[in-house]
Structure 1
Amino acid sequence: HWHGTIVTTVTVNSYATYASSGNAVTLPCSYTMEPNEDQPPIIYWIKGVSVDDSNAEVIFKGFRYWNETLGEYRQFFGDYYGRASVADLKEPSIQLNYVTSQDEGRYWCMVAEWSGRQQEGTDADGLALMVDGQKDYATSFKTDASVTVSVGDSATLSCAGDTTFDTVTWYEGPFHLPDSENFTYTEIGTYSKIGTFDLNSQQVEMEAGFTEMFIDLFLSLHIPTTDMENAGRNRYWCEVSLSTASNVELETDRSSVLLVVQSPPFDCAGKAPGLYPDPDDCSMYYECVAGNPLTYHRSCGYDGLVFDAANNYCDWAANVAPPCGTSSN
């Protein structure tokens, strides 16, 4: 379900940057979390084809502790330990010192809302780093940060690239491990491939489970009929690919768009007294009172609590069945 909690948007404000061997370079990153940043997010810098690529390298992880007196946590990995720095976790640009040719590639700034680990709370944006001269590379840019439709409507998610490319692939995700408290890699999650459009052959190939969707000649992803199931998996990624790029990490780039599917307004008229789930926000519910025409919209109160429609009370998400919770019992 659309949880209506934290929506994260990450931008690196650049498609590419350049550096000379032996010098330093700063890779920019900023993010917003709406409606507010109740809990400090976890921030990653990742080097690789994409954030979910099996060969991608996590080079930095950082966060601010909920208890501000504890300060901040920063960890650099591999060759980046001792020669990279992130000065401000609220504007988490990363500086690389003593750049070498091995540093060339694509870097992703990823920000994940800590507690919920929902799709709307996790976003990433990437840029290409080229060392000692400009190279061919692919770049994708957001045409829409979000698309909002009502249940039953069709949805069109746009895609565009700023350079020449030959393939467009759409993904859905991230899907997170629901029962893990190991935050080392949990926020990155897994992504499901939806379909691919080959510009050279003009052929579209949709993956199993997504055949009701299609990719048009303008590279947009079409969802003919939306429902709350679509809203529950609401972050979609457009990836453009350039097979002739000089570096495998420069061949692809992704950008994300949020699909928000809204349900009709809830009204107690004609309904029996009792508690009803909010189909748009698992942390909220409605109460209808006998003899009272008003509709009460109430919150579960604490972050991590969701409404259990089967038992008509709020509980921790781990104890509640999907789609609002993660319990398999």
Structure 2
Amino acid sequence: MMKIFVFFAVVLSIAYAEVVTTVNVSKAKITANSGSSVTLPCGFDMQPDQQQPPIIYWIKGVSVDDPAAEIVFKGYKYWNESLGEYRQFFGDYEKRASVVDLENPSIKIGSLSSADEGRFWCMVAEWSGRQQEGTDADSIALMIDSSKSYVDTYVSKNISVEQGNNIAMSCNKAGSYDTITWYEGPFHRSDTDNFTHTEIGQYDKVGAYYFYNQCESAGVCSNGEKIEPSFSQFGISSSGVLTLTNANIDDSGRYWCEISKHNGANMELQTCRSSTQLTVTGFTFDCSNQVPGSYPDPEDCSMYYECVAGDPITYHRSCGYDGLVFDPVNLYCDWAANVPPPCGVSSLP
């Protein structure tokens, strides 16, 4: 079974180069009346274009990885266009919601009620490995019958820094808030059966800046900056700027700035998150002087380079899901447990 899976993973990784996805809902908020219908806009861009259309989600919740979030819609087009499309609505949205075009996946919801008030996320994920750069989401605040207090945030979508240098990632904010939190993700880890973590992804907290006393345990309260131990090279200022010192290739990824008001009446309206794709540049691989074949990326075990005969392009491929690394001996992607160091942990020859 392992050999079959490895072959499948290789097929996926060969089929796609590194894809960067950007999602934009174009509006921060919409107000609609009870009993009426509303269309929530969503558009996306994927560079470079890939042959297989992405997977589209609509999710209602504080964030896409919120354990209490509600999956509203999931849809995608099949590889074989003659098979058409897969579309599924969940809960009562099955009877009162529609998505007309998966290429421009705006969603129309009818028979609105107060239960619909909150934050709706449009999430677009590349079909293959669901890597960080290939998955993005943007949200819109939906208010029923009257305008409510809400927050909004946005960041620069793509930034880069040369290895060894420092970089500052700004977070633009609107509304009243008392916490700024930065995350990295999504990670699609294989060590859990939780749908949110495997299908939607898991987001690792980089740190936060608290403007009120955050009590984590009895008698231990603090405000100001708090960085998680695994992200010690980062810092967060009172203005919400995330600073990375002495950037490494492994720091490349998608980072999310979230602002929130911890005692808001509707936490979905009082929490908003937006992402930026950080690329740390350094090592350069060029196929012009290489024979056709696959080559390891010395700075990222989850990536490799492919040179194709008669094709001048250098393809930078992803192994796919988190936990897969490139095996430089067998020249395919496998679980780290089956690959020798430095990328894996196997002691077998």
Determine if contact 1:19/1:129 at 8 Å carries over to the other structure.
yes
Gaps of 5+ in 1: 269-273, 288-295
Letter of the 2:249 partner, please give it: M
Cα contact 2:17–2:316 (8 A) shared by 1? no
What residue number does 2:332 align with?
315
Instruction: In structure 2, give the amino acid aligned to 1:24.
Output: S
Matched, 1:61 2:82: no
Q: CA deviation at 1:212?
A: 2.5
- Which has the larger displacement, 315-324 or 125-134? 315-324
Q: Indicate the SS of the match to 1:82.
A: helix
User: Which residue, out of 171, 174, 189, partners 1:177?
Assistant: 189
In structure 1, the residue matched to 2:3 is none
**Long gaps (5+) in structure 2:** 1-15, 214-222, 288-292
Q: Corresponding residue for 2:162?
A: 150
1:221 aligns with 2:234: no
1:76-87 aligned within 5 A: 76-87=89-100
Partner SS for 1:69: helix
- The structure with the largest helix share of the pair is 2
2:231 pairs, out of 187, 197, 210, with 210
Contact 2:118 2:269 in 1 (8 A): yes
What residue is the counterpart of 1:292 in the other structure? Answer: none
1:264 maps to a residue whose letter is F
- Kept after mapping to 2: 8 A contact 1:317/1:327: no
Which of 266, 272, 281 is residue 262 of structure 1 equivalent to? 281
CA distance in 2: counterparts of 1:117 and 1:239, whole angstroms: 21
Q: 1:37: Cα distance to partner?
A: 2.4
| TM-score, length of structure 1 as denominator length | 0.83
Displacement of 1:218 after TM fit?
2.3
1:193 maps to which residue?
205
Cα distance between partner residues in 2 of 1:72 and 1:323:
42
Give the distance between the partners of 2:75 and 2:193, measured in 1 at CA: 16
In structure 2, how many angstroms separate the alpha carbons of the residues matched to 1:300 and 1:165?
A: 40
Residues 302, 196 of structure 1: alpha-carbon distance in 2 compared, 3 angstrom cutoff:
closer
Following TM superposition, by how much is the alpha carbon of 1:184 offset from its aligned partner in structure 2, in angstroms?
8.3
For the aligned residue pairs, the C-alpha RMSD in angstroms reads 3.4
Moved over 2 A (4+): 177-187, 199-202, 242-246, 264-268, 274-283, 296-310, 316-329
Deviation at 1:186, TM superposition (A): 2.9
**Whole-angstrom distance in 2 between the partners of 1:81 and 1:324:** 49
Q: Distance in 2 between matches of 1:301 and 1:249?
A: 37
Aligned residues: 310
Deviates further, 220-229 or 315-324: 315-324
Q: Equivalent residue of 1:75, what SS?
A: strand
Within a 5 Å distance, the mapping from 1:82-93 to structure 2 comes to 82-93=95-106
Per the alignment, in what secondary structure is the counterpart of residue 22 of structure 1?
Answer: coil
Does structure 2 conserve the Cα–Cα contact (< 8 Å) formed by 1:49 and 1:253?
yes
Distance in structure 2 (CA, Å) of the matches to 1:38 and 1:85:
25
Q: Distance in 1 between matches of 2:180 and 2:234?
A: 15
The answer for the alignment partner of 1:249 in structure 2 is 268
> 2:343 and 2:43 mapped to 1: Cα distance?
31
Is the partner of 1:248 in helix, strand or coil? coil
Percent identity of paired positions between Structure 1 and Structure 2: 46
Aligned match of 1:72:
85
Contact 1:7 1:34 in 2 (8 A): yes
Distance change in 2, residues 1:154/1:321 (3 Å):
farther
Spell out the pairing of 1:160-175 with structure 2 (5 A cutoff).
160-175=172-187
TM-score (norm 2): 0.79
1:86-101, aligned counterparts within 5 Å? Answer: 86-101=99-114
Correspondence for 1:139 among 141, 152, 158 = 152
